[in-house]
Every structure is written in C-alpha cells, then in structure tokens.
Amino acid sequence: MITKPLISARDLRVTFELPSGGMPWTPPRLLQAVGGVDFDLMPGETLGIVGESGSGKSTLARALIGLVPATGQAQWQDGTNLIGLSPRKMLKYRSEIQMVFQDPLASLNPRMTVGQIIAEPLTTHHKGLSRDEVKRRVKDMMDRVGLLPNQINRYPHEFSGGQCQRIGIARALIVQPKLVICDEPVSALDVSIQAQVINLLAELQRDLGLALIFIAHDLSVVKHISDRVLVMYLGRVMELAQAESLYADPRHPYTQALLSAVPIPDPQLERQKRMIPLKGELPSPMNPPSGCVFRTRCPRAQELCARERPVLEGGAHLCACHFPGKLMAEELAKSA
Amino acid sequence: MIDTQQMQSLAARMTEAEVKGRSPWADARRRFRRNKAAMVSLVILILVALFAIFGNSLAGWSNEEMDFEVMGNAATMGMPSFANGHYFGTDDLGRDLFSRTVQGTQVSLMVGLIGAGIAVIVGTLYGATAGYVGGRTDAIMMRTVDILLAIPYMFVLILLLVIFGRSMSMLFLGIGLISWLEMSRIVRGQTLSLKNREFIEAARATGVPGWKIIIRHIVPNLLGVVAVYATLLVPLMILSESFISFLGLGVQEPLTSWGALISEGAGTMNYGTLWQLIFPLFFFCITLFAFFFVGDGLRDALDPKDR
C-alpha cells in the first residue's frame, strides 16, 4: 500500500498587499512572499526548508497553519484543502498541526505560568477535560521534554532559553499533533543547547511518529535532522531532494553557493575550500526578476534564464534550473 | 554507589512539592515596596480612605445638624476647638466642618474611583478590541474616539448638568462618558505592539478564539500600563469634579465635595474664617499628591526598563 502524503502543497502562493500610499483608488502594491510552492510531506518524515533571510520560509510555514492568507492548495491527508478554510472548520486541523517558534522567550506569555502555557492548546481542543486530568497531562509532557514537573507554577522569565524552547515544544506536542512546524527553533540558542533541543525533537519525532517541517538557515543543522531538504529563494523552490543526495550532489547553482558557505571544522580543509561568492543582495520580492528569479546573482545565467522560468523537474532529485550541474572553475572565476 | 545516591536525590527532587513561581506581579510588588515616596503616599491614601469611611463616628456633630449658637458669628465662635466638638470649626451656617469634610471626601473619592473604574473597564476593552481586530474596525472605532475627544468635554458636562439637572448620577455619567477616551487610545497603542509578539501568534495558531486572546493574553500584559494610567486618572477626575463644583454646578446641597467646600471656604476667607478653606484644601492636596506619587511608583515598579 502506498501511504498518502500527510500534507501535499500545490502552487501555494502568499501575496501581501502593501498600502500604495496614493489615493484610495490606486491599486495596492503586491508583494509575493511565496510564489507557487509544491511539495509532499509523508507521515513521520522531516522536511528541512533552507534559504536566506527573506526567502519566504517562515511565510510558507505561517500559510500552512493559516496565520497568513494564502492561495493554492495544501491538501491534508483526509483530502481537505487547508487553504482558505473558515476558522471554524480549520479548528479541527489546528490540533493536528502545531508550531514551535523562533524566539523561545517571546513565544511564551510572560504573565502565565508554564502550566497554563502548556495547557492552553489542550483546553482549547479538549474542553471536557477535568482540571486534574489537564494537570496530569501537562506534568507528563513536561517530564517528557526534560523539564521538572514540579516547576509547573513557574513563569517563563525564570527559565533559560533552552528550557523555554522545551516549554514551547511541550505546548506543541500536548495535543498529539501529526505535524509540527519548527520555525528556526534553534537559531536563538547557544550551540550546545541547539544540539540538546534538536536531539530532543528527533527523539520525540521517533517516539510519536511526528512529521516535521524544520525551517532553518543553518545548513548543518538541517542536514542532521532532515530526510529531505527544500531550498527556497525569493519565495520559490530551487531544489528539493533527499538530504544525502542534496548535500553530496547539489545541482542548483544557488544550493552550491549556500553549501560552499558552510564552514568546515578543519582549518586545512577550510582553507582549501572554494567559496562561491554571490554578488549583490536578494532582489525585491515586489519586483522579482523575469524568468528564473536567481538569474541576477547566478554565475551561469544566460539569456534563456531571463526569458523562461525553469520548472522543478528531475524525478527524486528535483531542481529548478535551465543549466543544472556542478559549477566549473572558469565560471567561478568569472563570477569572482 | 554514587550513582544510586544521585538517582535517589534526583527522585526526591522530582517528587518534591511543586515549586512556587515568582510572577512578574510579585517582582513589581517588591520594587514598589522599596520606593519610599510611593509607600508613604500609599499610607496617606489609606488614611484618607479610612477618614472617609470611619470619620463620621469620630465626629462630634452630624453633617445634618446646625449649631445654632455659632450660626451667624462663625468668625468669632466657629473656630476649630475640641471644647465644643467642632474639630475643624464650622461654616457660616453653623454646620460642623469635620463631618462636612468627611462627606466631601467620600463624594470626591467616589467620583475619582468610579470615573477611573469606568475608564479602566471600558477603555481597556475598547482599545484592546480595536487594536487586536485592526483594519476597518479599528479605523472606525478610533475615529469615533477622535471625534468625541474633539468636543470640549467641560462644555458638554456643564450642558448635561444644566439640562438634566444637577445630580450625582448625572455627574458620574458625564465623567464616565469622557474618562475612557484617552485610556482607549493608550491601550490600543500598546495592543498594536503586543499583537505581533510570538506568543499571540502561538495562541492564534492553536486556534484560541479572538476574545479569549484579548482577555487572556493581551489584557494581562496591558495591566501594568493601565494601572499606572488609572492611578493618574483618579486625581484628574477629582480635579474636574472639583472644578465643576467650584463653578457651582457639581454636587448639590446638602451633599458636598472637596471642590464645593473649597469654593465656600474661598468665598469667606476675607472674613477671618480661614479654617473653612484650609481643612478641605489640605485633604485635597495631600490626596492628589499621594495619587501622583503612587502612580509614579507603579510606573517604576511595573516598567523597569523605563528607569
């Protein structure tokens, strides 16, 4: 039997209207934060999403969970399209999809105790539970994520960053979701704490059979935890492949540039490494380049790239580029 | 060996009674207690409140009696004395100023507290709703506030009192109508900055309904600002009531308030009955000072970043 994907996104778009600043009848300026993203996520799988700041990673996550209005399709396992559901219908799916946020302390209400914070999704989705039952489950969950259950009455400011992130994870897991979206869950933490939190996530995923969407800009973290990796640039998918395949054989010039920037913890190798410098900055999403969005910074860009948008193709290792493949030395020299 | 010992101590720790958390409110309370001026002012406010509540049982005369011996020559016989029971002296009609001051304190404090109370409840909910919902709702709600604020409220209040007659309920209504406007603006501004914080987003992502987010997440985080502003609003309410009463439009005889008493005292101060002005003015001033100091202390305690 072929398992159905847990969530399957087709042509997912998020467009923000910016105030035009002119008269009320002047059309608003449009900012396309996510421009047609396709992917499938299997139950229990981890999908890493990487890309530089402003590439639309977080917006994609917020669109899936219904925090920003989107268009297109995001089909849940049972066939429902999650995009554009009314709040009432969406409520049922909100307990299936939970989110872990970037800033551990800011994502917890400073005026609520840890117990109240973790219990909130539970009391929202299971209204009939008695107070003792809620407390018991909260304590179980605290134990599970490595917090002392007797700290249930403490407030967020009494915890360290890593502990706050554990609280955030406990809050996400208490309603037994099928999918947890982690929006840069470790980028605000120390490296040693990052490892703890990532291992905790991986362990919980294994035990509970969760699917994870793991957003980060740290490529080594993503490699460690992900089954598949999706590379985004300016709201579009550049490359989507199995993690090993993507890291061993990056086909898109953008992915190659990203990977070349990862430092290697060995000074000799690091010195020999060839960096692929990217010129300029991310183009404005209000006025994206024609054709391939990456062409303005691509060392291999040709006339075709400006004319036609490349489609995402390539079987198991998907890549959206007219001229995929490893960059040659002379191309690098040209770009430098 | 050591391992088992460690495990045992760990187990003991795990089963230990629940640790009590130190809430942000408890922190603020600690900071407030260290602020001497605010603590002294708080004591003064408590004393003034006790004076308003229990003053009548200390008074030698009730506020309904007139001392006919004093009536007519208050300047010579009506001065403050313990012998005849008029601790604060009498007014020109021979009414005991002590019990009159108690009565005035009751009325003035009530006006201040009710005015500020309406401001807190209505203003907070209105401002938080406008800020949280945003968009067109916000625009309509806040433009309404702008329009109401543009009307000179003292003028409206005087008109109300003249048209519908002078009564306590009309006074409360008039003061209540205007007091929440500023508050709703402040609360809306705060809500806008809270709205995009991640914990609000987390609550929305979980599917907590909007009104619950306002009540449970936004309002508790606003209360610091609201508490500070409310303590500063009480003296403003007392001031505007006193102003109205000073004009002769406020509370009606036989009721009185600080403003009415001060007005009376000021009218007769040239005839050598200065106590008629001094005593109400003293209570008025110390209460206003105390409220301002308490408000200041609250601001320092609740918003440590500001110092």
ipTM of the complex: 0.83
Quote the pLDDT of residue A164: 93
Whole-Å CA distances, A143 to A136, A137, A194, B19 = 11, 10, 19, 15
Interface-testing mutation among B10, B30, B198, with chain A (most A C-beta atoms within 10 A) = B198
| 47-66 of B, contacting A, C-beta below 8 A | none
* Cβ proximity of A98 and A118 under 8 Å: no
Task: Please indicate whether, in this complex, the C-beta atoms of A171 and B22 are within 8 angstroms of each other.
Answer: no
Provide mean pLDDT across the span A88-109. 89
A61 CA to chain B: closest CA distance, Å? 11
Tens of pLDDT, residue by residue over A169-208, are: 999 999 999 999 999 888 888 888 888 899 999 999 999 8
A147 CA to chain B: closest CA distance, Å? 10
Domains and their CATH numbers in chain B: 27-60+83-302 (1.10.3720.10)
Share of chain B above pLDDT 90, in %: 14
Which residues in chain B have Cβ-Cβ distances shorter than 8 Å to A102?
198
Q: Sorting pLDDT into bands at 50, 70 and 90, what band is B232? A: confident
Higher local confidence (pLDDT), B162 or B139: B139
Share of chain B above pLDDT 70, in %: 91
Bond preceding residue A87 cis, omega within 30 of 0? no
Q: Sorting pLDDT into bands at 50, 70 and 90, what band is A4? A: confident
Provide mean pLDDT across the span B159-185. 82
**Spatial distance between the Cα atoms of A129 and B74, rounded to a whole number of angstroms:** 72
Structure tokens at A172: 């996400």
Quote the pLDDT of residue B307: 43
Interface-testing mutation among B19, B133, B199, with chain A (most A C-beta atoms within 10 A) = B199
Quote the pLDDT of residue A331: 65
Nearest CB among B14, B18, B201 relative to A67 is that of: B201
Provide mean pLDDT across the span B85-114. 82
Task: Please indicate whether, in this complex, the C-beta atoms of A102 and B198 are within 8 angstroms of each other.
Answer: yes
Q: Is A1 a residue whose pLDDT tops 60? A: no
Q: Sorting pLDDT into bands at 50, 70 and 90, what band is B43? A: very high
List residues bridging with A236 in a β-sheet: A233
Q: Is A258 a residue whose pLDDT tops 80? A: yes
Q: Sorting pLDDT into bands at 50, 70 and 90, what band is A114? A: very high
Residue A67 three-state SS: coil
B17 CA to chain A: closest CA distance, Å? 6
Nearest CB among B13, B14, B19 relative to A153 is that of: B19
Which residues in chain B have Cβ-Cβ distances shorter than 8 Å to A66?
205
Q: Sorting pLDDT into bands at 50, 70 and 90, what band is A115? A: very high
| Other residues' Cβ atoms within 10 Å of the Cβ of residue B226 | 23
Task: Please indicate whether, in this complex, the C-beta atoms of B198 and A120 are within 8 angstroms of each other.
Answer: no
A219 CA to chain B: closest CA distance, Å? 24
**Spatial distance between the Cα atoms of A96 and A176, rounded to a whole number of angstroms:** 7
Identify the contact set of chain A against chain B, taking CB-CB distances under 8 A.
65-67, 87, 90-91, 94-95, 98-99, 101-103, 106-114, 120-121, 124-125, 148-155, 157-158, 168, 171, 175
Measured between CA atoms, the residue of chain A closest to residue B12 is A150
Quote the pLDDT of residue B306: 46
Task: Please indicate whether, in this complex, the C-beta atoms of B202 and A110 are within 8 angstroms of each other.
Answer: no
Q: Is B2 a residue whose pLDDT tops 70? A: no
Q: Output the CA torsion sign for B292, B296, B298, B299.
A: positive
Whole-Å CA distances, A313 to A74, A250, A320, A324, B154 = 20, 14, 6, 11, 73
Task: Please indicate whether, in this complex, the C-beta atoms of A155 and B208 are within 8 angstroms of each other.
Answer: no
Nearest CB among A103, A148, A175 relative to B198 is that of: A103
pTM of the model: 0.80
Letter for the amino acid at B227? A
CB pairs under 8 A between A and B: 89
Q: Sorting pLDDT into bands at 50, 70 and 90, what band is A333? A: low
- Alpha helices per DSSP H over A174-260: 191-208, 219-225, 243-248, 253-260
Quote the pLDDT of residue B3: 75
Task: Please indicate whether, in this complex, the C-beta atoms of B18 and A152 are within 8 angstroms of each other.
Answer: yes
The pairs formed by A155-159 with CB atoms below 8 angstroms and a separation of 24 or more are A155/A110, A155/A111, A155/A112, A155/A113, A155/A114, A155/B21, A155/B22, A155/B23, A155/B24, A156/A105, A156/A108, A156/A109, A156/A110, A156/A112, A156/A114, A156/A117, A157/A105, A157/A110, A157/B24, A158/B21, A158/B22, A159/A114
Q: Is A332 a residue whose pLDDT tops 80? A: no
Least confident among A136-150, B2-16, B103-117: B2-16
**Spatial distance between the Cα atoms of B207 and A89, rounded to a whole number of angstroms:** 11
Is B12 touching A (CB cutoff 8 A)? no
Higher local confidence (pLDDT), B94 or B103: B103
| Other residues' Cβ atoms within 10 Å of the Cβ of residue B90 | 28
Task: Please indicate whether, in this complex, the C-beta atoms of A67 and B16 are within 8 angstroms of each other.
Answer: no
Quote the pLDDT of residue A84: 83
Residue with tokens 């999704």: A121
Q: Is A16 a residue whose pLDDT tops 90? A: no
- Averaged confidence pLDDT in chain A: 86
Q: Sorting pLDDT into bands at 50, 70 and 90, what band is A98? A: very high
Measured between CA atoms, the residue of chain A closest to residue B10 is A148
Q: Sorting pLDDT into bands at 50, 70 and 90, what band is B7? A: confident
Quote the pLDDT of residue B126: 92
Task: Please indicate whether, in this complex, the C-beta atoms of B199 and A109 are within 8 angstroms of each other.
Answer: yes
Quote the pLDDT of residue B10: 66
Provide mean pLDDT across the span B68-77. 69
B135 CA to chain A: closest CA distance, Å? 12
Q: Is A213 a residue whose pLDDT tops 60? A: yes
Q: Sorting pLDDT into bands at 50, 70 and 90, what band is B74? A: low
Higher local confidence (pLDDT), B225 or B12: B225
Quote the pLDDT of residue A118: 94
Share of chain A above pLDDT 90, in %: 24
Nearest CB among B18, B24, B207 relative to A110 is that of: B24
Provide mean pLDDT across the span B14-26. 74
* Cβ proximity of B241 and B250 under 8 Å: yes
Provide mean pLDDT across the span A162-167. 92
Quote the pLDDT of residue A169: 93
**Spatial distance between the Cα atoms of B203 and B196, rounded to a whole number of angstroms:** 11
